[in-house]
């Protein structure tokens, strides 16, 4: 199952509040096929899980919703955040170490 770091959980909670999504909302991962038939992870803020989503509850109640294909791909990964030189934070999917 996807692991969520404390930093990522804090970023999810902040993002949910910023987007005005209610407390049961979370970050949702889904697999999308691009124009060149390459599969890619799509990330969005969702008010709740979709039918069939796996729900991962992290620190402080932050939630991540995983569409079935995304859940398979992310089962051995860690969701973290990384900060660039300008202080911008972005989510990062890392291999479990």
Q: Count of residues for the chain?
A: 97
Q: Any idea where the domains of the chain sit in the sequence?
A: 3-95
| pLDDT above 90: residue 93 | yes
Q: What is the structure's pLDDT at 10?
A: 92
Look at the block and give the residue holding tokens 């999504």. 21
What are the tokens at 55? Answer: 């729900």
Kindly give the pairing relationship between strand 54-57 and strand 39-46: unpaired
pLDDT at 85 over 90: no
How would residue 88 be classed by pLDDT, with cut points 50, 70 and 90? Answer: confident
Place of tokens 């969005």: 44
This model's pTM is above 0.75: yes
Enumerate the β-bridge partners of residue 94. Answer: 78
CA 81 to each of CA 10, 29, 33, 35, 87: distance values in angstroms, whole numbers, following the listed order? 10, 15, 25, 28, 12
**What is the Cα–Cα distance from 97 to 85, expressed in whole angstroms?**
25
Q: Could you tell me the strand order of the sheet in which 89-95 lies? A: 3-4, 77-83, 89-95
**pLDDT at residue 95, as a whole number:** 93
- pLDDT, tens digit, 9 for 90 and up, residues 10-64: 999 999 988 888 778 999 999 988 777 777 899 999 999 999 999 999 877 899 9
Fold observed for domain 3-95: Hypothetical Protein Aq_1857; Chain: A; (2.60.300)
């Amino acid at each position: 199952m996807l692991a969520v770091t404390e930093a990522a959980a804090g970023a999810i909670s902040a993002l949910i509040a910023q987007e005005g999504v209610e407390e049961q909302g979370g970050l949702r991962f889904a697999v999308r096929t691009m124009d060149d038939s390459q599969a890619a992870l799509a990330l969005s803020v969702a008010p709740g899980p979709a039918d069939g989503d796996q729900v991962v509850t992290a620190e402080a109640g932050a939630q991540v919703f995983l569409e079935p294909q995304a859940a398979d791909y992310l089962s051995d990964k860690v969701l973290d955040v990384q900060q660039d030189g300008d202080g911008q934070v972005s989510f990062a999917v890392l291999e479990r170490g």
